[in-house]
Chains A and B, each alone.
Chain A
C-alpha cells in the first residue's frame, strides 16, 4: 500500500469510511502542494449552485410553450445547451427524446452511472444503484410500476442505455389538464417538471 491508499485517519481495527478516505486524500494533496482547499471548494460550489435539474426543467417548460424552440431542442440540443452557461460538464453531446401518448422514453447507464450533469445536476442515488441499472433494461415496465409510473398496455417503452459519451434528456408530455398549465409562464411551468420526469421514471406534474 502506498501513500494515497494508506493516508487515512482510521482506527487500525476497521477499514476507513468513505469520508475518512476523502479527507485523508484531500489533506495529502494539499500538504504536497498539488491543490489548495479553495480549488476543492470551488468544484463543490459549482456543483452545488450552478448545476441542477432546474436547467433541464426550464428547457422542457420552454419547449411546451414554444413549438419552434421545441423543434430546435429535438433537432439540435447542443446549440441550445451552448447558449446556457452550464459548460459541457459530462454532457458533450446531448440528445433529447420526446414522450408521446404512444412512446415513453427512459434513460439509464448500465455500465456506470452516466448522466446529463449539465442539465440535471448530479444523479439521484437510485439511478446509480446496481438494481436500477440492471433491471430497467431487463423489465422496464415492471420497474416503472414499482416507481409509481403505470403506463398504458400498448405504450412502447424505449430504454436508452447511455453507454458512450452521449447524454439523454427525456422531454416529458405536459400535464394533460389544460386548466393546470394554461396561462403559466416558463418559471411556473418548470416547477411541474421533476428531475424524475426528465429521466423518464415519472410524469411531469406528478411529483
Chain B
C-alpha cells in the first residue's frame, strides 16, 4: 500500500490535535490565570532505503545522498507557556495576582496540594480564604467575621482591619516555584495544576524572593491567550489539515489507477 496514505493520516491526526489545543486556548481566553498550550511537532522515524555514502555500483565513488522516506509527524509534547497574563483591575480586596513565576498553593479535599495562578479568593463560612471551588489556600489564612478589610502586602504578609479599626496580622502568604512549570499536570482543570516528576519538586518561598514574584491586591491575572495569534494558528492548522487530506485523496486515486492496470 502507498506509504503516503498513512503519512498523510499522521498529518491529519496531528493537525486535529493542534486545532483541539487552539480551541481550548480560545475557550479559556477569559479564564483567570489560564496559560495557553502549544503542540510541539516532530517528524516520525525514517525508513532508510539506501544509506548516504554507500559506494556506487561503478566502483569506489561514494554516493553523496541516500534514500530516506519519512513516515509523517507526531506530537512530541503539548506544553503550557507560563508567560505573564494581563492584569485586570477589579477593585476587589480578595483578588490578588502574582507578578512573577510563583504559584499559589491550594489544599485539595484528599489532602494533596495543587498549584494555581488564579488569585480570585473568597472567604468561606468559617472565615478561611478559599478558591471559587471552596478549596482552602495553604498556608491557611483566616479572616475574622467582624473584620472590616483585608490587606495583602507585596511580600505576602496579610493583615486585617479589626472591628475597632486596628491593623492586625492575619498570616503570611507563600508561593512556590517549579524548575520546569511546563511539566505541571493540568488534568484537574479548575485552574489547578499538580506536581509531576517532570516539573520538579515545588520550592516554597516568600513572595518577592527568588523570582517568585510579588503580590498585588485588587487585580486578577487574565489568561495569556492572544486571540489574533490563536486565529492565525487556526488558519495555518486548517490549511495544513486540508493539504494532508489532499494527499489522502491523491493516494486513493493512485490506488484506483493501480487497480485499473488489470482491466
Q: Do A and B bind each other?
A: no
Which of B's residues lie within 8 Å of A, judged by CB? Answer: none
Which of A's residues lie within 8 Å of B, judged by CB? Answer: none
